[in-house]
Structure formats: structure tokens, C-alpha cells
A and B are shown apart, each in its own frame.
Chain A
Amino acid sequence: MLRRVVERARIRVAATSPSRTAGVVAAVAILLWSFTLSDVRLSILVGVIGAAIAALGLDVLVARTGQLSLAHAAFLGVGAFTALNIGGRNGPWPLAVLGAVAATGAAAAIVGMPSLRIRGLQIAITTLAFQVMAENFLFVRQDFTAAGKTLERPGFITSDIRLYLFALAALAIVLVVRWRLAVTRAGRAFLAVRDVEARAQCFGVEPGSSKLLAYAISGCIVGLGGALLAIKEGSISAKDPFVLLESLQLVAIVVIGGAGSATGIVIASVLFKGVPQFISKISIFGLHISATRWVPIISSALLVAAVVQQPEGIGGVLRLLGRRIDKRLRPSTGEGLPPRPQPTDPVAAAHNAAALRDVPRPFALRMPVPALLVGHEVTVQYGGVFALSDVSLEVRRGEIVGLIGANGAGKSTFFNAVSGLAPVRGSIRYRGVELVGRAPSGRSALGAARTFQDMGLVRAETVKENVLLAQTWLSGYGPVAGIFGLGATLWRERDLRRRADLALALFGLEHLADERLGDLPYGTMRAVEIASAVAAGPDLLMLDEASAGLGPEEAHALGDRFLALRDELKLTLVVIEHHVPLIARVCDYAYCLESGALIAEGAPNYVTSQPQVVESFLGRGGAAGRSQAKAPKAPKAGPGGPSRRRRDRAQRGSDERAPERSGGAQRRRQGGDPVGAAAEGGGPRGRAGAPGLKRPAGTKRSAKQKAKP
């Protein structure tokens, strides 16, 4: 037992990069050294920690939600004065601290409310307005500032070194909260709302409550800093530490320290709040510079310089330095090369597929219904433009349905209608559940996942974080519970990570898990997006132009992937595609849209040969265009060996056989998938009794025959 623990620790240390080890050692050394400082200096350091906590709170907003608050000095004041009010009226100190944290969190959430409607610059203005209002209206009132009252220090703080320890404990709590935020659903949701606000809803993220939560958390952290200042000072008579100038200093600390980098922010706090008090005069080359006067000037000049030259601040510089050290000490050992592909183990593959499909879903949503998605007279209207008009279509279980049409035909609009990102008239039912009128973030739990034509993921985050983000609806713990690690958080999170690994492995992306998504090539990013959607455990997967930007070879591989998703994961797919050979090869059924209206449906080969479809795609060009449209599929339709899957399609008189598929790495078909087999049922599926559908009786394809050689 002990040996195992030691062994694990050894591996952990060996895996830590040298720069990180050096950083930790340096931090511990500085911390130990700080205890040897005089009492006066320790008390200065307590003030520095207070400012650092406030800056770390501000950074939650800046780095995670991309919003700038110019009111954080005011929040610091709200926290300090609340603590003074409670403590000064003989309230116990824990109550004073908790009261400060709660009041500041609430104040921040209220100030953040306009962010539900406006964003960016305007939000900065509203926070600026609150700052000015607080310092001119609230902080001049004696009942608010608890003038003349004194907060007694907690009994155990008998010396400055104990106060310093108390401050360090508060800082540690803040760092832990920030870390928990980063590794649980709340932090991921903030980033998603920052970068892909509306689209994040498709993962089950609710932008509104996410934003308010971000403000509240940021406020709570600042409130703790305020309480710390109140305990340090005992009574605060001047509003100086809480004015606009201080807010700007906090912004400066965050920007110079580097948004998102706790280390950088703490260093910047020491530089700008500690150094001027430690060293009153700096003498260089015979010049005597008063630090208290010049540090603010230098810091504001640095702020401008940092924004222009080094937007990642001190944190960015440290990261760069660390990377250089690591490179020198540990020359790369073939890093960056993708790992050698492992031979596919069919049993493991089937098991993984089953694990990915195993998501908690009510029984009613697991029933084998014939048609997963039924759209009835779906109309989407923007002003006077009909992006979709009276489109009725049906997606049956286990099919790959192609949605084709020229640009602007309304294909993506249909996806948006299903996701709830477009205003819909008509009816869209998923497994009999009416989607219209349901909140977009509530739809992911039903079992439909999708990708976007131009990415709905956070490019600044790692691949794995994005796959985790996509599983937000699955997380099974509340955003706040996650921060404190309450309830099922820890093992649910482990489960999500395991699922993320499975999904990445399914697409051969596991070696890229820790890469920043935005650094990857375009095609790989698209694959990550599909993997994310699959990780969310859907029954229906909607892929918007997955083949865009891919070459013919890659598009062919993508087709294999579609078939694998259908056959191995038993997913139903709706794909928007422009690539006609791909549609012809993989789709079971196709719908063609033009200017928001359905103009053709049927087997892909039938649809793509319809004159109105050809005309829609290629214009009124006639025969030349038509032969082009048909050309790519001709060579593939030859007679092959024993067909692994044969579909007879009696389609309006045309008798076409699905083209042969060549075997590929992705084709690991296994019959024994427990989930799929149970749900699939086998045998011919009956007609869905949905009224008003154009699909004529008797044209239903016969059952898939899973003939195995």
C-alpha cells in the first residue's frame, strides 16, 4: 500500500515539468522568508493580500467572462463596510466575514444584471456608473460606513504574524475557489458564454444565470478581501481605498499580471501595493525617486504598455520563460508526433461505444420510436424574409439523412430551429416531445446534439475542456456545488473526463487532448467538434457541413466516420452537406431545400438527379450541369463482392442500389452492442404515422440487412 503511494508520488513528481517544480520551490521559499519580516512589513503585506484578493476576484470576470468591471474598488468597499457594520455592532467575526461575502456577491450580481441585455463596452460603462454612484452616494453616508464603530479582531489574532497567516488563509481559499471554478462546469460555462454565447445553450449552458453567477462569485471573492481589510484596520473613516482610482489600479494589476494568471496577479499586487511602502526611496544613478509618488505613474504607464505590447502580462512572460527552461532541460522526445495508431480491439470499441451511449435519460426518451425528429410545417421568419416556409420533414431512427441545397436555402436555419436558436412557427417534435417553446438549454437533455458550420466551441480552451463543456447537461451537479466539491461533484466529474477520453479516442484525437483548440488545423477542429457532440451522449446528431474545407480523401474518410457513428454508436444523423458524392454514398434519405422551401426528397441518388435540384445547385445550365452532378457516383456503383449491407430502395420507380463502401479503419462493425441492439429491434420498421408528410406510402426502404460474411 505504502509502496504504491510512494510510487504514485514519484511518477507525479517526474511528470511535473522542471519549470513548474522551480516555481513551486521559489514560491515556498519566498513564503517562508516573508515570516522573518518585521511586524510593520507583515501588516503591509496583509494590505497587499487584500488587494490581490480583490484583483483575483476581478480577474474571474475579466478572464472567464471577458467583461471589464470598473467597480471592483466599490465592491471592496461594500465588503469592508458590511464587515464593519456587523462586527462593529458586536456581531461575531465569522458572521462579519460571511455577511461581507454575501452582501458583496449580491451587490455584484445586481450590478451585473444589465449584462443580460448588453455586453462589452456598455457593461464597462454600467460598472463605472456604479463605482461613481457608490463613492459619491453610499460611502459618504455615516450609517453605511459604520463611522465611529470598531471591528474587534478575532480572539486568535493576537499578533501581526497571526493576522498575516489569517490573510494567507483567505488568499488560499480564493485560489482554491478559482481552481475549482476552472475544473468544473461553472468555469467552462463562463468561457462558453464569453465566446459562443447563444451556441453554448446547445450544451445545456444557460447564459443568463451563468453571467449572474460569474458576477456573484467575483463579488464574493472581493467581499472576502474587503472583510480582510476591515479586520486589519478595525475602522475605516476615509473612502480613499474604494474610489475610482483604486478600481483602475485593480484593472492595472489584472492586466499587468496577466488575465487568468493567479501567479502574475499576485506578483503584480506585490509590485504595485507592496513595493511603494517597502521602499520609500529608490536611488538610481544619483537620482532619488520617491516610490510612493512614482509607482502609480509607472504602473499606469506599464498598463498602457502591457495592453499594447504584452497582453498576457507577467503571467504570459512566466509561461514563456517556463517553456524555455523546460525545452533546455528536457529536450523534446519526439513530442508532437501523433502516437502510433493502436490496432482496434473490436470488443473494446463496442464497449466504449456502449459507454458513450449510456446517459441518464428517462425511459420515455429511450423508447424505439420510428421517427426521431418530425418537423411539421416549420416556418422561420426574419422580418419580411422567410428563411424556412412550411417545411415538413422526418428523420427516422438509424438513418443518415442528408439536408442539401444551395447557400441560403435554409439548411442551417432548420438546425437552428431544432436547437431553439431561431424563432419558429409550426411544430418540431423530437421523440414526440414538442421542441417549439422549450428553452434551448433544456433541449440537449432530450438527446439531440449538433455542430455548427463555423464552430460552436471555445477556441482558447484545450480540446478536452471543450469536450467537457459539451457535456454540461450531463454534469449532474450544480455549478455552485461544483466549486465547493459538494455532492456527487468529484466522481461525476471523473466520469465526465472518462467519457471525454472515450469520445476523443473514438475519433483518434486522444493525443491532442491538452492542445489549445484554436492552435489545431481546421479539419482537426471540426473533428473535435463532432467528438464533443458525440460525448454529450445524443441519439440524434446534427452535423452542419462537416466536410467543408476537406479534400476529397478526407471527405471520403468523413463518410466512413458517418457510417461508423450510425452503425457502431447507433446514432441517427442529419447532415448538411454540399459534397454530392458523400451524400450519395452515406445518406439513406435526402431532403433538398431551396429558398426556405422543400423542393425534393427521397433516396440521395434520386434527389440529386431531380431537374429542379440540379437547377437549384447549378443554375439553369441544363445537361452539362446535370451530368456533373451524377458523374462522381458512377464509378462506385459497380458490382462488388458479397455486400455487407444491401439496401433495396424502391424509390418512385428507380431501382438503385447503395454504392459499395470500401472497408476503412473506422469500420469496426460489431453486432453485439447491447444498447444499440436492444433499441434497434431489427426487422422492418413501420411507417411513421405522421400526417402531412410527403413521403408516399410504399416507398419506405426495407430493413437494413446486417449480413455478415
Chain B
Amino acid sequence: MVGQAVTGLSAGAAYALVAVGVVLIFKGTRVLSVAQGEIGAFGFFFGLRWANRGMPGLDWHPPLFATLLIAVVIGAVLGLVIERFIMRPLATRPPLDALIATLGIALLLALLEKEIFGTATQFAPSPVGKWRVQIFGATLTAERIVAVILAAAVAGAIYLFFTRSKFGLAVLATTGDPTVARLLGVPVNQVYRFVWVTGGALSGLAAALLGPAFGGLTPFDMTKFALRALAGAVIGGLDSVWGAIIGSLIVGVLEAVVGGQVHVEGAANVAVLILVIGTLVVRPRGLLGTSGAA
């Protein structure tokens, strides 16, 4: 049981990477993005393909570690493109339109992955080595340990970003009221771009760690993980970075423990979803969210 909880915690840490992206985007633009899984997976699939068969035209096989970097870079670029060509025209429209657009993006990316890489599971070797650690009877592989460390690092970085940097303050100002922020000289478009690029990069990071942790990736797999991250973000509060991390950890642990203890098909899913719906009904703003998240 404790071992299951620890395993779940490490999965939760990887979800948290996606969830932090979701929350950053929500804080910056009031858009709920469900594409944060597939954005990263898209890049990671390319990284794996290139590591296997070499970069087209370059005849260079990137080392395994580079798959992670490729996923991060392609994720960031996708974030940039999505912000500029899809989200900016939608900025003045109802938030539901943007949600539908992100659904379409997730669908499009997953279907393209299916078309380019096939439906078979892509074996994903860990980009961060093959060592493992034993804690409380659970064996954690390298990518899971790295996920925990990275989640902690991202949390710290975001904390410093919001409390110490001027640009972090600009993001917070934009959250409050984009129009007023713009009038006060906050570069709102830069804020939008920043949150989407960061969200895309985090998504790539998460894909490169979650793929190996679960033995491989198929198209739509990352959307499933992204839904768990979304669940974590909702439970923790859609506009709270700390909430998203805590919520994702809760989701990871709950899923692992219920999945390990209750032998009914789909029980882990049901447990998480009941928690999500319960949170939304009892406390719509989530654990640490502000009223803006409700």
C-alpha cells in the first residue's frame, strides 16, 4: 500500500508538470487547455523516431537524452504557434470557444501522430538513464525520480518567478484584468506568448518522462494523462500553481492505491472522477484556487 502510494506519487509528479502548464495558461489567458498532453507527445514521438532512424537529411542519431530536449523544443514551438494563430483571435470570445479549439488541437495532433507513427505502442526508452531506487518497497525507475525532482524544481522556479520577477507580476496583473493590465503598460501579448510557450515546454518534458514510466506511448495516451493532470488542476484550483501540484499528486496516489487495492475494472478512474465532480460541486474553486477559478 505504501509502495503503491509512492509509485502513485511519482506518477502524480509527472502529471503535475502538465498541470502546471494548464494552470499557467489558465492564469495568463483564462483558457482551459486540454491539448497540453498531445502537444508534448507530438514532439516526443518525433524525438523517438529520430533517435531510432536518424534525423532526416542529417544522418545524425540523436542520443536518448536528446529525445527529451526535442520534445521540449517542439512543445514550446507548438505553444508559440497555437498562441499566435489560434488563441489570439479567440481572446475576445467566450472561454468555451477557446476550450473547443484546444479540443480540436488535441484531436488533430493525436490523429496526425496516428497517421505518421501508426497506432502501435512506441517503445520509449528513458531519456535520463536506467538506474532505479528502492523506497518503501517501491522500485522507482530513473524517469520517475527525475519527474519528482523536476516537479519540485518547477514549483520552486514558478514560486520565484511570481514573487521575485517583474514579468511574473505582469502575468498576475493580466490574470486580474487584461484590459487594465494593458492600460498600465503590461505587455499582455508577451504574457500570452510566455504562458503558452512554457506550457508547451512543460508538456514536452512530461511526455518524455511519462512515456518511459508507462512502458511506451500510443497516440491519445498523453491526452489520458492530460485529463488526469486536468483533474489535478481542478481539485487543486485552476488558478493556483501549488494547488495544481498538490492536486496532481493526490490524483496520482489515489489512482495507484485504488487501482492496487480494488480489483474492479475502471475503479481507479471512477475514484478520481468522483473526487473531481465532488470538488466542483462542493468547492468549485478547488483547494487553493481563488474565486477567479470558479
Could you list which residues of chain A lie within 8 angstroms of chain B, going by C-beta atoms?
66-68, 70, 114, 117-118, 120-122, 124-126, 128-130, 132-133, 136-137, 140-141, 245, 248, 251-252, 255, 293-294, 296-297, 300-301, 303-304, 307-309, 311
12 A-B pairs in the complex with CB atoms less than 8 angstroms apart: A118-B294, A121-B32, A126-B276, A128-B34, A129-B277, A130-B277, A137-B269, A245-B220, A248-B106, A297-B108, A301-B108, A304-B86
Residue of B nearest to A68 (CB): B96
Closest Cβ–Cβ distance, residue A605 to chain B (whole Å): 42
Q: Is B95 an interface residue (CB 8 A)?
A: yes
Residues on B with beta carbons closer than 8 Å to the beta carbon of A70: 103
Closest Cβ–Cβ distance, residue A395 to chain B (whole Å): 36
Are B111 and A297 neighbours in the complex by a CB distance under 8 Å?
A: yes
Are A132 and B111 neighbours in the complex by a CB distance under 8 Å?
A: no
Q: Is B99 an interface residue (CB 8 A)?
A: yes
Are A140 and B104 neighbours in the complex by a CB distance under 8 Å?
A: no
Are B230 and A300 neighbours in the complex by a CB distance under 8 Å?
A: no
A269 and B103 CA atoms in complex are apart in Å by 18
Are A311 and B93 neighbours in the complex by a CB distance under 8 Å?
A: yes
Are A121 and B86 neighbours in the complex by a CB distance under 8 Å?
A: no
Residue of B nearest to A255 (CB): B100
Q: Is B138 an interface residue (CB 8 A)?
A: no
Residues on B with beta carbons closer than 8 Å to the beta carbon of A311: 93, 97
Residues on A with beta carbons closer than 8 Å to the beta carbon of B34: 128
Closest Cβ–Cβ distance, residue B236 to chain A (whole Å): 13
Q: Is B266 an interface residue (CB 8 A)?
A: yes
Residue of A nearest to B102 (CB): A304
Closest Cβ–Cβ distance, residue B26 to chain A (whole Å): 9
Q: Is B105 an interface residue (CB 8 A)?
A: yes
Partner of B108, one of A128, A137, A245, A300: A300
* 14 more CB-based (< 8 A) A-B contacts, given A130-B273, A300-B108: A122-B284, A136-B269, A137-B267, A137-B269, A137-B270, A255-B100, A296-B111, A303-B107, A303-B108, A307-B100, A307-B104, A308-B86, A308-B89, A311-B97
Chain B contact surface mostly: helix
Partner of B100, one of A68, A136, A294: A68
Residues on B with beta carbons closer than 8 Å to the beta carbon of A141: 265
Are B276 and A136 neighbours in the complex by a CB distance under 8 Å?
A: no
Are B97 and A307 neighbours in the complex by a CB distance under 8 Å?
A: yes
Are B95 and A120 neighbours in the complex by a CB distance under 8 Å?
A: yes
Closest Cβ–Cβ distance, residue A78 to chain B (whole Å): 16
Are A120 and B96 neighbours in the complex by a CB distance under 8 Å?
A: yes
Partner of B265, one of A68, A126, A129, A140: A140
A4 and B52 CA atoms in complex are apart in Å by 81
A696 and B200 CA atoms in complex are apart in Å by 72
A121 and B233 CA atoms in complex are apart in Å by 13
Residues on A with beta carbons closer than 8 Å to the beta carbon of B106: 248
A301 and B103 CA atoms in complex are apart in Å by 11
Residues on B with beta carbons closer than 8 Å to the beta carbon of A251: 100, 103
Residues on B with beta carbons closer than 8 Å to the beta carbon of A129: 231, 273, 276-277
Are B104 and A132 neighbours in the complex by a CB distance under 8 Å?
A: no
Given A114-B281, A125-B280, A307-B104, A68 contacting B86 (CB threshold 8 A) = no
Partner of A133, one of B100, B234, B238, B269: B269
A130 and B270 CA atoms in complex are apart in Å by 9
Q: Is B101 an interface residue (CB 8 A)?
A: yes
Residues on B with beta carbons closer than 8 Å to the beta carbon of A124: 32, 96, 99
Are A114 and B277 neighbours in the complex by a CB distance under 8 Å?
A: yes
A133 and B98 CA atoms in complex are apart in Å by 24
Given A122-B280, A132-B273, A307 contacting B107 (CB threshold 8 A) = no
Are B276 and A304 neighbours in the complex by a CB distance under 8 Å?
A: no
Residues on A with beta carbons closer than 8 Å to the beta carbon of B227: 128, 132
Q: Is B115 an interface residue (CB 8 A)?
A: yes
